[in-house]
Amino acid sequence: MIKIKIIALLVLSLVVAQNSMAQFSLSGEFRPRTELSHGYKTLAAEDQDASTITTQRTRLNFGFKNEFINTGLVLQDVRQWGNQPQLVSNEDFSASLHEAWAEILFTPEFSLKAGRQELVYDDQRIFGNVGWAQQARSHDVALFKLKKDFDLHFGVAHHENGNLTDSYYDGPDAYKDLQFVWFHQNWETIQLSLLVLNNGVPVVENADQKTKYSQTLGGRITTNVKPLKLAANLYYQGGKHVSGKDISALNLLLEASADRFTLGVEHLSGTSYNDSKYKAFTPLYGTNHKFNGFMDYFYVSNHIGSVGLNDVYLKYDYSGEKWGFNAHLHYFGAAADFAEDFDRYLGTELDLAGTWKVNPMTKISLGLSTLFAGDSLELIKGGDSSVFQYWGYLMLSVTPRFMN
């Protein structure tokens, strides 16, 4: 009841204040998605049955903006159909806060945005909101923003437990300390972004907690050389891994697009069975679902610290006023050796997807993917590479705008 009252008061405040000079927005999202899986994320076994599940994301988005501040509040409920009883007797399944932030405008060019918020930069390889996942990703962070003829962001986060007598953190997040600087500049035909990220992960050694820091340095450049659009990513990771090993890892992406076609190659370095250093690149907090195949075999809560990946891909993307269609083909190979005499070919994946814009607030999406796995993928993932691997989904997305 308390949360219902809070939501009611928020809505009432927006309605009452609409006559002021401030800008308010109130919108929602209803997104149920049914998925059919027989080999999603890992290879299916010979006698494994296909599974069908339905999950749903429901959101209520509040926004407020004037000349002094900008705020955002996103209430979110994520569930799998059937996980909650029909007769709910407690609040264990209550909504959560996906975003809750306030941005103070010190000047028109300089601001501070603090609170729970999404971090989305460039092509979302290192920082992304993971919008495909029903729960998505957001951070507790303070973000300083400077905007002139360039953009400069500085973000900082520090996590600890509730005990103020120590500096201990064993919470659910991926880091204890995080700092990053992001720079972006647009020219007439070239766009350049640079990123410096310091990521601190807590580790217990001899009953004491220490923080192991890794650094990610690099950026992205894009340019239009008609009729081609060219893009390149280059990131290097160094520092210390939680295992104590030195990190030396690389991510390189080269991409060319013309009309509706994109041809590209991405290299994420890996650790071989006989390496003394940690050479596996970790894309950290990116929207990894969009990169290396929709069946999520690589870098979607998996394949971290492994043999890396070489991904050669050809994509066709069509988007019309009402209809959209995508066809993506990936050729996967390991970037390092899992064992002696290891065959680096991992498989070939075909992703097909279509969308229908029913109206400006409603979209229906349908997709089907299949993976033709190499024998070496069995060593990494388990399962049976000779079994037909497939995954598909049907998703309804309704995004009403109640007030603007």
Question: What is the reported pLDDT for 206?
Answer: 85
Question: Does residue 226 fall inside a structural domain?
Answer: yes
Question: Does residue 398 fall inside a structural domain?
Answer: yes
Question: Does residue 7 fall inside a structural domain?
Answer: no
Phi, psi of 241 (to 5 degrees): -85, 160
Question: Does residue 209 fall inside a structural domain?
Answer: yes
Question: What is the reported pLDDT for 3?
Answer: 56
Question: What is the reported pLDDT for 142?
Answer: 98
The CATH number covering residue 174 comes to 2.40.160.100
- Residue 377 host element (H or E): helix 376-381
Question: Does residue 26 fall inside a structural domain?
Answer: no
Which domain range does residue 273 map to?
Answer: 33-403
The Cβ of residue 319 has, within 10 Å, a number of other Cβ atoms equal to: 11
Secondary structure letter of residue 158 according to DSSP: E
Question: What is the reported pLDDT for 226?
Answer: 87
Question: Does residue 13 fall inside a structural domain?
Answer: no
Question: What is the reported pLDDT for 288?
Answer: 96
Encoded tokens for 204: 């217990």
Question: What is the reported pLDDT for 11?
Answer: 59
Question: What is the reported pLDDT for 164?
Answer: 85
Question: Does residue 121 fall inside a structural domain?
Answer: yes
> pTM of whole model > 0.85?
yes
Question: Does residue 51 fall inside a structural domain?
Answer: yes
DSSP per-residue codes, 223-272 = EEETTEEEEEEEEEEEEE-TTSPEEEEEEEEEEEEETTEEEEEEEE----
Question: What is the reported pLDDT for 404?
Answer: 76
Question: What is the reported pLDDT for 84?
Answer: 82
Domain count, the chain: 1
**Which positions of the chain have pLDDT values less than 50?**
1-2, 19
Question: What is the reported pLDDT for 90?
Answer: 64
Phi, psi of 308 (to 5 degrees): 75, -165
Q: Strand 190-205 vs strand 177-186: parallel, antiparallel, or unpaired?
A: antiparallel
* Residue among 45, 50, 29 at smallest CA distance from 368: 50
